[in-house]
Amino acid sequence: MSRRGYLSPRRERRMAADTVRAVKVRCQSPEQPIRALSGGNQQRAIFGRAMASDPELLLLDEPTRGVDVGAKAEIYRLIDDAAAKGSAVIVASSELEELMHLCSRIVVLSSGRLAAAFDRSQFNKEAIIGAAASVGASAVTKEAA
């Protein structure tokens, strides 16, 4: 948005308007502060801002926490679009359904180490929950010892 180190307000406004349209943010104007938007619109606006830089990697922590079902579906679409455009996407979520929808691979970590890994063809709620539960049980056992 800059030329020779100077910001271009016109480019900035155009990019904001394009982003609002692309991620379907419902707002009074592209200049409305993000904090004045609803939760789902805040999530979409922040996601759109991140995507405007055409990132190689997106790290998403609980990308749909606190949003309604409609906003969730739209955020899922945006994440799928980012991956389709070539961005690597890493999602941390406490919602297994969300991970199973968004991910091509799910890993369970314990103390910074890989405890289990599942490719999409291996996705099975019971197995993933079991791997996570065994990590939690081993952590409790270590603390008790």
Same domain? For 134 and 76 the reply is: no
Count of domains in the chain? 2
Tell the residue number behind the tokens 């609803």, with chain if given.
38
| Residue at 136: amino acid letter | G
- pTM of the predicted model, to two decimals? 0.74
Same domain? For 52 and 64 the reply is: yes
Same domain? For 50 and 98 the reply is: yes
Tell the residue number behind the tokens 């307000």, with chain if given.
9
Same domain? For 53 and 65 the reply is: yes
CATH number of the domain within which 45 lies: 3.40.50.300
Q: For residue 2, what is the enclosing H or E element?
A: strand 2-3
| Residue at 127: amino acid letter | A
Q: Which domain holds residue 111?
A: 104-145
| Residues paired with residue 107 on neighbouring β-strands, in sequence order | 117
Per-residue pLDDT of the chain (145 residues; tens, 9 = 90+): 556 777 778 888 888 888 888 888 888 888 788 898 888 888 888 888 888 888 999 999 999 988 888 888 888 998 999 999 999 999 999 899 999 999 999 999 877 789 899 999 999 999 999 888 886 555 444 444 4
Query: How far is the C-alpha of 136 from the C-alpha of 142, rounded, in Å?
Result: 10
